[in-house]
Chains A and B, each alone.
Chain A
Amino acid sequence: MQAGMRGKAGRKARAGWWSPERPWVWLTPAVALLLLYSIYPLIYNLVTSFKEFDPLIRGFQWVGNENWAKLVQDERAFNSLRVTLTYGIWALSIELILGMAIALIFDAGTYLRGLWQTLIIMPMVTPPAVVGLIFRLLEHSDFGVISWILYNAGILQPAEPLLGGTGKHALAGVLLADIWQWTPFCVLILLAGLKALPTEPLEAAKVDGASAWQTFWLVKLPLMRNVLAVVILFRIIDLYRLFDYIYIMTSGGPGQRTETLSFYAYQTYIFINWGYTATLGVAILVLIWVSTFVYTRVFKVEW
């Protein structure tokens, strides 16, 4: 950007407010649309969280802080937060560890690596709704292949299937779809990070006789800090919006065993408690902002 400043002074001085030397001329359409998508729902939800839809008059009525009072006592909302966090922690740790393991194997070198790298992309670009369907078939309690394998391995009892039953394993069932779809994402990005590692520290470690294990923990991992930070940030953002698999695979059930924040909000929307949907929406936004703010400060994510 240094070069950018050079030509600027002279050019900008004679430029009018509408001139192409003014950034806003280029940015306005994009910023306007993004404002529409970010500020409008925020303000709308904030205002609506103090109202409730009244089917009798087919319109909203002010209810004061009723929705917010309901939220702090809403066992179901806390349950959905718990489900989201449990899901998030499991998904993130398994995807990172598995992703890192596969990336390390790729990085160490295999035959036909290009082919494997292409194949492993496929889950990531499959529509999540279709992923939900695929795993419903695979995990079907009567004829799902995954269920069949788990029954035969004695890990699972047909009385307590992955999906359905009392829902003891339902979250694991949904997690399986998430892990399948998003581990490749971690693989690709971590692999890019591994490939970009500077060679000198690795060679120095080799000369010093460090084991592969030590090199990984003491040299590679610290050097990949930034890449790791980005992967985790993107997964955190995605986990809060977790909806598609739940909608297709479990509808939040059995009971509320797999009801995530997004899905609970959707339920209130379907039942036309729109004021409460707005309240949950604001709460979700605040949660995301706080977690990403803290996260980007702690990890100093660079763009």
Chain B
Amino acid sequence: MAAQSVSVTSESRGQARKAAPSRQARARIRGLWLRTLLTVFLVGLFVFPIFWWFLASFKPFGDIFALPPVFIFKPTFKWYSVVLGGVSYNQIMLELTGALTSTGGGLYYSVPYIIDSIIIASVSTLLVVLIATPAAYALSRFAIRRRHDLVFWILSTRMMPPIVAAMPFFLMYRRLNLIDTYLGVILVHTVVNLPLAILLLKSFFDDVPYDLDEAAMVDGATRFQAFSRVIVHYILPGLAATAILSFIFSWNEFLLTLTLTRTAVRTMPVAASTFDTSTGGTEWGFLAALGTSAMVPVFIFVLFVQKHLVRGLTMGAVKG
């Protein structure tokens, strides 16, 4: 508000005293509208690809390829009927194009991939939370020698590019018969998400005053009871955020799952990539339907963690 008095020049002071607030208010509203319009345009650019993909999953065969782009069309559910409903691929392609295409077969039916993705993401999330919570508690509560180095080491494991770990894990898994098993994929997803979960949960524990632990222990609780019955309750929102983020990252993980599975276990992103390479690019309706199905659960989940997203994505370094 200091600026207000500065901006009023001396010669117009008499008039300005009355007119200035309304003129400033008007300028402020004009600024708000201008920025809103600019934002609509910019955000539109970021939403458009998803919107376009979503539309493609409902477009009749020819409209997907139409240029100039078609926005109004008679929606079809045929792509979803194959991808999610198990209708025969050949039957649909015959209906749509009037010709039998040689490629394809049953592999477009994607419900098994969705189930695999859900199993892997849920179990690995559960494991991540179970293992990371005590570790985060210790990092936050105990006087650990060289704690800073330990935290940085945990952070550095997040830097491991998947390709560097993929081959050693592939060869180890081959020896242990873990290739193409749920256990194998769950294990690797758990490990990949641990650093994020530990550091994120640590930042939530750090927000809870240590006096609460002490009070509980003075009242006769053991250290473990203080942790599990008192402190954990204060970080429930943090736990939820961590769980949801682990779930999303496991759901989206690609390279390690690709190298460690063959056909028995297949997650959605890997399935989408095999569709693509096996069809040469004429069957975008199937891809769009599968891709949209892969995105929807994630979009719903992320709404719940929006408040903690910044903290989560920076592993606790920046608090949003």
Give the B-binding residues of A (Cβ under 8 A): 1, 3-8, 19-21, 23, 25-27, 29-31, 33-34, 36-38, 40-41, 44-45, 48, 102, 105-106, 108-112, 116-130, 132-138, 140, 142-143, 145, 148, 180, 183-185, 188-189, 192-193, 196, 203, 206-207, 209, 226-227, 230-231, 234, 237, 240-241, 243-244, 247-248, 262, 265-266, 269, 274, 277-278, 281-282, 284-285, 288-289, 292, 301-303
Contact = CB atoms under 8 A, between A and B. Distances in A.
Contact of A125 (B46, B161, B302): B302
A102 B46 CA distance: 12
Contact of A192 (B148, B164, B165, B320): B320
B135 to A, nearest CB: 4
21 contacts: A1-B143, A21-B142, A25-B138, A27-B138, A30-B194, A119-B43, A121-B306, A122-B46, A130-B53, A143-B67, A145-B52, A180-B49, A192-B319, A192-B320, A203-B2, A226-B318, A240-B159, A247-B255, A247-B273, A281-B167, A289-B159
Contacts of B178: none
Contacts of A180: 46, 49
Interface stretch (B72-80, B97-105, B208-216): B208-216
Nearest to A247: B273
B276 interface: yes
A126 B255 contact: no
B317 interface: yes
Given A105-B35, A110-B32, A237-B159, A192 B318 contact: yes
Contacts of A227: 318
Contacts of B156: 38, 289, 292
B269 interface: yes
A102 B50 CA distance: 19
A247 B258 CA distance: 11
B319 to A, nearest CB: 7
| Listed residue (B36, B53, B167) with the most chain A CB atoms within 10 angstroms of its CB | B167
A262 B42 CA distance: 32
B168 A45 contact: yes
A20 B222 contact: yes
A106 B320 CA distance: 14
B182 interface: no
